């Protein structure tokens, strides 16, 4: 299968997993020794390495889900991810670098639909057959401001 | 420093009485627009040191940071003489921002509106078309550049933290902070060069003072933040203490590994989760190192009005609390490492950045809780919060099951706002009676 198609399919399922569940499946979109980070365009441009969320193993992603389910307290909310088409930036066999623009709407409690985040996924995929797994996803948010809190992943 | 005339602090205190007892906080203080306006004058433009930025963000001559004192935009620069300067980010001509970038490098600043130009110390050095064009127009002959310019701030640098003030009517920073607070800043930052690892901003749907209270509230830490207790990171029964400075406004809460601790049942007795089956799939998150060679794993330090220095495990950060409206606050986070960090230590800091910030395992609740209070107190302006945990004073304490440092904040606040303590304001006991009467009626 074409890498672009494999990535587009994986990303559609990724967004559906976070927005409609089950969230427990979210780590399964990554390889075991993955990197996932949520940062801002400013930090990214300056090469500042910290993240709002920072993981270098799939286990850390699993822990993020467990903490959200079992430990952290926050007002219930839902996301709706809208993703653009992935731009394939480089391909070397099954190693693919791509970027995908996104925006995420958030509804907290009984409140209105808020535009919560916009940005791009800067990704490194490992494509094998028809399966595309994330070796690295850097979520680069356009704004430096997060409204209230960031609980569910982007 | 000829323009360091300071802001005339308005003598106007909103016409409000404040309970003499520190155990009562009126809810109107989080809601009232006139109180909010008065805070800008009396607190942020008043005789207090406000955190501006890190010296590390001004590493080289020409580096600048655009920051704030309260709502007021401020530029902090390092000039070619190596010194740090700060002045209002407001053109002396028509009031436009002098610089728009948050961080950058400049030889001088030129206002985009009419190209008035300032040097790195905030002196007006040129006015476009000052002589007019073709002998026509131009500024009047008696126009003097040095009479015009943004107000300059008084600056103080403490272990790489840059503080500034628009007031002349306050002591130097060492006296302002006091020895105990200085010692605790020194403990984290002394003798080390911080490195910025990332900057994040969080918009809080609540009054700035609700966050200032939350930071000083050691009582809530292991109750609201269940990640700590779920994974056994921090408990009130750990060895620790609260320091409240003499003014009440600054505080330190810290805890250390208690190597003699025995299993306690206090949490189970309170029906608060502490012993659970939850384990991290990747426990490397909590595999840190001794931050400065002692057993302290948590130190939260606040400086009145709006500064926080935190060490949570090996997550070191500064926070700047900026008011944006009666129910709107901007919280700036700057995550720090140190030049002396090894690669392994830097990796620990990256992993532990998950603990803090807008998505932090032990801080995301604080993003929401202020909004819960702000929404909860709607329609209850004449009611009071009650702060009786650990007594009614604002003193240092060996117990962290206390609201002493929250009371301290209000002691400093009512002093700086000029609210007169009022004996007639209801005491907690009276409030209880009233409530009972209403229920029974």
Give pLDDT, residue B399.
Answer: 85
CB-based contact B224:B390 (threshold 8 Å): no
- Mutation target vs B (from A50, A65, A110; most B CBs, 10 A cutoff): A50
- A145/B203 touch (CB, cutoff 8 Å), yes or no: yes
Give pLDDT, residue B270.
Answer: 56
- B198/A39 touch (CB, cutoff 8 Å), yes or no: yes
Select from A48, A52, A70 the Cβ nearest to the Cβ of B230.
A70
CB-based contact A146:B363 (threshold 8 Å): no
Give pLDDT, residue B223.
Answer: 80
Token pair of A145 as six digits: 């401001």
Give pLDDT, residue B315.
Answer: 97
Task: Specify the pTM.
Answer: 0.93
Residues in chain B whose beta carbon is closer than 8 A to a beta carbon of chain A? Answer: 102, 196-205, 224, 226-227, 230-231, 276, 278, 280-282, 284-285, 330, 335, 346-347, 349-351, 353-354, 357-359, 361, 364-365, 367-368, 371-372
Select from B351, B357, B365 the Cβ nearest to the Cβ of A73.
B365
Distance of alpha carbon B171 from alpha carbon B11, whole angstroms: 20
Nearest-CA distance A61 → chain B (Å): 9
Residues in chain A whose beta carbon is closer than 8 A to a beta carbon of chain B? Answer: 38-40, 42-43, 48-57, 59-60, 62-64, 66-67, 70-75, 144-151
- B201/A145 touch (CB, cutoff 8 Å), yes or no: yes
Compute the mean pLDDT over every residue in chain B, rounded to the nearest whole number: 89
Nearest-CA distance A60 → chain B (Å): 6
Give pLDDT, residue B171.
Answer: 95
Chain A with chain B: Cβ pairs closer than 8 A: 125
Query: Measured between beta carbons, which residues in chain A are less than 8 angstroms from residue B367?
Result: 148-149
Query: Measured between beta carbons, which residues in chain B are less than 8 angstroms from residue A148?
Result: 202-205, 358, 367-368, 371
Give pLDDT, residue B1.
Answer: 34
Residues 6 or more apart whose CB falls under 8 angstroms from that of B180 comprise B243, B245, B252, B396
Query: Measured between beta carbons, which residues in chain A are less than 8 angstroms from residue B365?
Result: 72-74, 149
- A145/B202 touch (CB, cutoff 8 Å), yes or no: yes
- A73/B226 touch (CB, cutoff 8 Å), yes or no: yes
Select from B200, B285, B372 the Cβ nearest to the Cβ of A60.
B285
Give pLDDT, residue B258.
Answer: 76
- Mutation target vs A (from B227, B359, B361, B372; most A CBs, 10 A cutoff): B359
- A149/B367 touch (CB, cutoff 8 Å), yes or no: yes
Low-confidence ranges of chain B (pLDDT < 70): 1-14, 232-237, 260-277, 425-441
Query: Measured between beta carbons, which residues in chain A are less than 8 angstroms from residue B350?
Result: 49-51, 54, 56
- B199/A147 touch (CB, cutoff 8 Å), yes or no: no
- Mutation target vs A (from B275, B358, B360, B365; most A CBs, 10 A cutoff): B358
Give pLDDT, residue A87.
Answer: 96
pLDDT digits (tens, 9 = 90+) for A76-120: 999 999 999 999 999 998 999 999 999 999 999 999 999 999 999
Give pLDDT, residue B7.
Answer: 47
pLDDT digits (tens, 9 = 90+) for A121-142: 999 999 998 899 999 999 999 9
Give pLDDT, residue B427.
Answer: 57
pLDDT digits (tens, 9 = 90+) for A13-56: 999 999 999 999 999 999 999 999 999 999 999 999 999 999 99
- The verdict on ipTM greater than 0.85 is yes
Compute the mean pLDDT over every residue in chain A, rounded to the nearest whole number: 96
């Amino acid at each position: 299968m074409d890498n672009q198609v494999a990535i587009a399919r994986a990303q559609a399922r990724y967004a559906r997993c976070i927005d409609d569940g089950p969230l427990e499946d979210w780590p399964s979109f990554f390889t075991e020794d993955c990197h996932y980070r949520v940062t801002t365009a400013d930090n990214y441009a300056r090469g500042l390495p910290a993240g709002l969320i920072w993981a270098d193993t799939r286990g850390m992603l699993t822990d993020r889900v467990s903490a959200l389910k079992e430990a952290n307290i926050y007002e219930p909310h839902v996301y709706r991810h809208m993703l653009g088409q992935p731009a394939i930036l480089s391909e070397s066999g099954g190693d693919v670098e791509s970027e995908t623009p996104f925006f995420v709407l958030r509804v907290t409690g009984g409140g209105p639909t808020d535009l919560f985040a916009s940005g791009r996924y800067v990704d490194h995929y490992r494509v094998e057959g028809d399966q595309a797994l994330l070796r690295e996803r850097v979520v680069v948010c356009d704004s430096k401001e997060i409204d209230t809190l960031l609980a569910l992943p982007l | 420093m000829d323009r360091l005339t300071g802001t005339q602090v308005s003598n106007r205190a909103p016409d409000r009485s404040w309970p003499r007892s520190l155990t009562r906080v009126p809810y109107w203080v989080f809601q009232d627009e006139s109180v909010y306006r008065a805070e800008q004058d009396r607190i942020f433009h008043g005789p207090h040191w406000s955190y501006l930025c890190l010296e590390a963000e001004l590493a080289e001559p020409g580096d600048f940071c655009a920051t704030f004192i309260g709502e007021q935009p401020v530029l902090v620069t390092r000039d070619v003489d190596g010194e740090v300067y700060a002045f209002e980010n407001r053109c002396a001509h028509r009031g436009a921002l002098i610089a728009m970038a948050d961080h950058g490098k400049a030889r001088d600043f030129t206002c985009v509106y009419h190209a008035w130009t300032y040097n790195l110390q905030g002196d007006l050095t040129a006015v476009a078309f000052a002589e007019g064009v073709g002998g026509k127009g131009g500024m009047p002959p008696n126009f003097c550049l040095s009479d015009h310019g943004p107000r300059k701030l008084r600056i103080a640098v403490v272990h790489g933290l840059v503080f500034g003030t628009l007031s002349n009517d306050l002591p130097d920073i060492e006296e302002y902070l006091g020895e105990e607070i200085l010692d605790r800043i020194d403990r984290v930052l002394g003798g080390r060069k911080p490195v910025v690892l990332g900057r994040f901003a969080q918009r809080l749907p609540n009054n700035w003072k609700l966050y200032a209270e939350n930071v000083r509230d050691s009582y809530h830490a292991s109750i609201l933040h269940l990640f700590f207790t779920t994974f056994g990171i921090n408990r009130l029964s750990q060895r620790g203490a609260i320091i409240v400075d003499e003014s009440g406004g600054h505080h330190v809460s810290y805890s250390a590994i208690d190597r003699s601790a025995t299993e306690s049942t206090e949490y189970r007795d309170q029906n608060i989760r502490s012993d659970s089956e939850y384990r991290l799939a990747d426990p490397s998150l909590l595999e840190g190192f001794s931050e400065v060679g002692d057993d302290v794993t948590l130190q939260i330090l606040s400086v009145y009005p709006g500064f926080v220095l935190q060490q949570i495990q090996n997550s070191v950060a500064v926070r700047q609390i900026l008011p944006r409206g009666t129910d709107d606050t901007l919280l700036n986070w700057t995550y720090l490492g140190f030049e002396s960090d090894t690669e392994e230590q830097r990796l620990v800091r990256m992993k532990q950045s998950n603990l803090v910030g807008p998505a932090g395992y032990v801080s995301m609740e604080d993003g929401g809780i202020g909004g819960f209070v702000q929404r909860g107190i709607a329609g209850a302006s004449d009611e009071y919060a009650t702060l009786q945990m650990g007594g009614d004073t604002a003193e240092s304490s060996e117990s962290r099951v206390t609201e002493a440092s929250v009371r301290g904040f209000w002691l400093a606040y009512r002093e700086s706002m000029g609210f007169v303590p009022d004996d007639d304001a209801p005491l907690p006991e009276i409030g209880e009676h009233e409530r009972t009467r209403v229920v029974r009626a």
